[in-house]
Amino acid sequence: MNKRTKYFLRNNKLPVFLAAILFLIVLAAVFAPWIVPHDPYEINLEKAKEPPQKTYPFGTDAQGRCILSRMIYGARISLFVGFAATVSALVIGILFGTVAAYFGGVADNIITFLIDVTLSLPGLLVAIAITVVFEPGISTVLTALCIVGWAGFARIIRSSVISIKGRDYVTSALVLGLSRKLIMLKYILPNIVPIIFITASLRIGVFILSEASLSFLGLGISPPEPTWGGMIASSVNYVETAPWMAFFPGVALAVTIFCFNLIGDSIKDYVNVLDNRI
């Protein structure tokens, strides 16, 4: 870790704290089968809608299932969907964005048109339409989020590549006779890595919220698989009598999205600091 990074972290302790919270959430999701206090799928109507207590720290739902256990298992789905959708949309966005910016011409016109059309459509409605047409499940949710999310990445990557392509060292590489493929791999892609990290960290939270929205509408992951959005949806009729059923999954969702968004902003600030000092 260099001095600039240490200095930035010392003066930005909140992102470090939030990163620690995210790390704990990820650990809980990874080791869910070994740390959950109860079987998240076990139905026990005799213990339905019990308030938070020692045996059930977050209470139980309408079927008597442990809310804490279901939240931990739900974190696995939310984080997996968030990361997988981000990586898939990012790969497509990098491919189309770099091709459009670097080669220009007809390729740029076609890809730019596709980007504009995709971004002009309401993303959530498109995702809803896709999940309605195809069989519900993680693969369908990932496909829907990837289709509505790639264009945002592609536009940012395209703009970044166009900016870098006009710099002197790229022009010099062309004059020296280096191939376009080599210039792309050696000079352009490494310089857009910070932008990729910033955009990806901000989009993970968006994809997690989108998955929760689809699950809330009953179009995401099918029950009895626990998801934060599905848990909130199933508690709508019990908000007054058993508010903990919606409160704890809602807090987990809000905290996770907040952490990703603020960490993304911090990465952007760190990159800006480095750029200003170079």
Locate the domains of the chain by residue range. Answer: 79-277
Does the domain at 79-277 match CATH 3.40.50.10490? Answer given as: no
User: Which of the residue ranges 8-17, 109-118, 158-167 would you say has the lowest mean pLDDT?
Assistant: 8-17
Q: Give the model's pLDDT for residue 222.
A: 78
Mean pLDDT of 236-252: 89
Q: Give the model's pLDDT for residue 73.
A: 93
Q: Give the model's pLDDT for residue 278.
A: 42
Residues 147, 155: Cα–Cα separation, whole Å:
14
pLDDT tier at 3 (50, 70, 90 boundaries)? low
Q: Would you say residue 8 has pLDDT above 80?
A: no
pLDDT tier at 161 (50, 70, 90 boundaries)? confident
Closest alpha carbon to 246 in 120, 67, 4, 2: 67
Task: Give yes or no for a contact between 68 and 54, defined as CB atoms under 8 angstroms apart.
Answer: no
Q: Give the model's pLDDT for residue 31.
A: 92
Q: Would you say residue 223 has pLDDT above 70?
A: yes
Give the three-state DSSP class for 8.
helix
pTM reported for the whole predicted model: 0.85
What's the token pair of residue 132?
């309605």
Q: Give the model's pLDDT for residue 1.
A: 56
Residues 138, 23: Cα–Cα separation, whole Å:
23
Q: Give the model's pLDDT for residue 7.
A: 56
Q: Would you say residue 274 has pLDDT above 60?
A: no
Q: Give the model's pLDDT for residue 12.
A: 65
